[in-house]
Structure 1
Amino acid sequence: MTEQPAALRLRNLHKSFGKKAVDGLDLAIRPGEFYALLGANGAGKTTTLRMVAGLLQPDEGEIFVDGIDARNDPIAAKRRIAWLPDEPLLYDKLTPLEYLEFVAGLWGMKAEEAGPRADALLRRLNLWEQRNQRCEGFSRGMRQKTALAGALIHAPRLLMLDEPLTGLDAGAARQVKDMLAEQTRAGVAVILTTHILEVAEKLADRIGIIAEGRLIAEGDLAHLRSLSAAQTASLEDVFLDLTGPGRHSVAGAAA
């Protein structure tokens, strides 16, 4: 039986902006896996996701999405990716239905496929009653959920989210988390950055900790605890211990 390719594989990825932002990063995420990428501000998380999304070109290294070399065949790779930044771009004069129609058109989806999928996403995210309202009056949570629907409209195999829960109330955050869990059960790989460590602790199958552009630790919470002096502590305590001064070379990885 042929082994299924990784949903995302990074090899020796480098990016500098005067100084190193990403420094020889190696990473692999399996189909259907929920992966949390954690790090302090400036650690290289967003730069990494932007390179995978094709918004930045690496200085060096390889990016494979679902087995496709993203640097040699970027269009095919992008068709398998959805990218949701921390400040989602919506067109305020469009309604959610119009926005999803617009995004589906960019992906070349046929109307008979896009229409039912848009309806299902809006219903699932509790936006159906607002489907014909302009986005300009939406709350942060409604905007984030509309953007998530747009990210999912083309049924990606890799969903990347940068701080998707920041500023959301409890109800909106729960809806987003439930939707992400549903995606992984359907075989979609999810990679998420967040400063809300409780989210990573509860949802992630594996957690990667990045510091100064390098992956310094990776595994489930039990494995990360084994690398830390705080072996029975919360993810927050483990994270602070592993990223503390002089600790960046401690790391170990779990497959």
Structure 2
Amino acid sequence: MSDNDAILSLDDVTISFGSGLVLKGIDLTVNRGEIIGYIGPNGAGKSTTLKIILGLINEYQGTVNVFGEDISSGNDSYKHKIGYVPENAELYDNLTANEYLTFSGELYGMESTKAASKAERLMREFGLEDVLHSKISSFSKGMRQKVLLISSLLHDPELLFLDEPLSGLDANSVIIIKEMLEALAAKGKTIFYSSHIMEVVEKISNRIVLLADGRIIADGSFEELRKQSKEGSLEQIFNQLTGFDSHQETAKTLVQIISEEA
């Protein structure tokens, strides 16, 4: 793809909290229609990266361009073309799903009746038509996650950020989401996908970016990463590149401790 296809770019992005650097010079360009698997150990800086791009954290150094515009300019109109599912989201439990989704659509500039109609149709496809007018406080984890996904997609975003989006979903729903994301990418949507579930990242991403200790240490397709590391699965590649090679020994030690007589 050419530079004109770039939807998102980070140039030497650095941020520190307290005395510690969290991101240490991130350089990344994401092109239209890509599904980026953004992975890394806990504390590597994945969620921080997303929050910077989304304008939720401003105290960074470097340059972040979204849709060709530097987000530090103060113009946040780019957010209307973005969808976001955070890892830990607080929903308005006292609202019904219909009320919450209509409200979300309005925040993105949708007309209320159109937002409500589209939300109803999406809820039906996710098997939630019977609880459209029920309060979210009565929803299971999986049902709440589906509402979050619908909320992120309702306004037909050009750029979608998903942070552990499959949390709590059943196997059938996971398959549907994977197929849907591939179809959205085929339509030119760009998807930034962060998860610890390596099997899903491996299958769904056409490009994988591995972050460790605040730096990008690998960037390429799954096949390219596999050739570089000589490993079979993304989980094995992940363990090799991040230097995590003690998992089997740790597991054995844990079992030994658990098996000790009380």
Distance in 2 between the 1:120 and 1:73 partners? 35
**Cα–Cα, structure 1 residues 217 and 3, in superposed 2: closer, same or farther, change >3 Å?**
closer
Name the residue aligned to 1:65: 66
Name the residue aligned to 1:110: 111
> 1:179: how far off?
2.9
Map Cα deviations across residues 5-50 of structure 1 (whole Å, 9 max, x no partner): 4121111111111211111101111112111001000000000001
Greater Cα shift, 107-116 or 64-73 = 107-116
**Cα–Cα, structure 1 residues 141 and 113, in superposed 2: closer, same or farther, change >3 Å?**
same
Question: Given the alignment of the two structures, is residue 234 of structure 1 paired with residue 233 of structure 2, yes or no?
Answer: yes
Distance in 2 between the 1:4 and 1:127 partners? 40
Name the residue aligned to 1:9: 9
**Cα–Cα, structure 1 residues 68 and 116, in superposed 2: closer, same or farther, change >3 Å?**
farther
AA paired with 2:95? L
Q: Is the 8 A contact 2:26 2:216 kept in 1?
A: yes
Name the residue aligned to 1:98: 99
Pairs within 5 Å for 1:25-174: 25-174=26-175
Greater Cα shift, 128-137 or 179-188 = 179-188
Distance in 2 between the 1:190 and 1:144 partners? 18
AA paired with 1:237? Q
> 3-state SS of the aligned residue for 1:29?
strand
> 1:67: how far off?
1.4
Distance in 2 between the 1:157 and 1:90 partners? 23
Instruction: Give 4+ residue runs of structure 1 displaced > 4 Å after superposition.
Output: none
> 1:104: how far off?
1.5
Q: Is the 8 A contact 1:93 1:135 kept in 2?
A: yes
Distance in 1 between the 2:206 and 2:133 partners? 37
Map Cα deviations across residues 105-157 of structure 1 (whole Å, 9 max, x no partner): 22222234323322332233222222111111111111011011111122211
> 3-state SS of the aligned residue for 2:72?
coil
Give the greater-gyration-radius structure (CA). Answer: 2
> 3-state SS of the aligned residue for 1:93?
coil
Q: Is the 8 A contact 1:31 1:188 kept in 2?
A: yes
> 1:94: how far off?
1.3
Map Cα deviations across residues 163-205 of structure 1 (whole Å, 9 max, x no partner): 1123332133223323322322222111111111000111001
> 1:3: how far off?
5.9
Greater Cα shift, 159-168 or 11-20 = 159-168
Gapped runs of 5+ residues in structure 2?
A: 245-262
AA paired with 2:156? A
**TM-score, structure 2 normalization:** 0.86
Q: Is the 8 A contact 2:103 2:112 kept in 1?
A: no
> 3-state SS of the aligned residue for 1:200?
helix
Aligned-residue CA RMSD in angstroms?
Answer: 1.8
AA paired with 1:149? I
AA paired with 2:24? D
AA paired with 1:76? S
> 3-state SS of the aligned residue for 1:145?
helix
How many matched pairs?
242
AA paired with 1:183? L
Q: Is the 8 A contact 1:229 1:241 kept in 2?
A: no
**Cα–Cα, structure 1 residues 94 and 178, in superposed 2: closer, same or farther, change >3 Å?**
farther
AA paired with 1:200? V
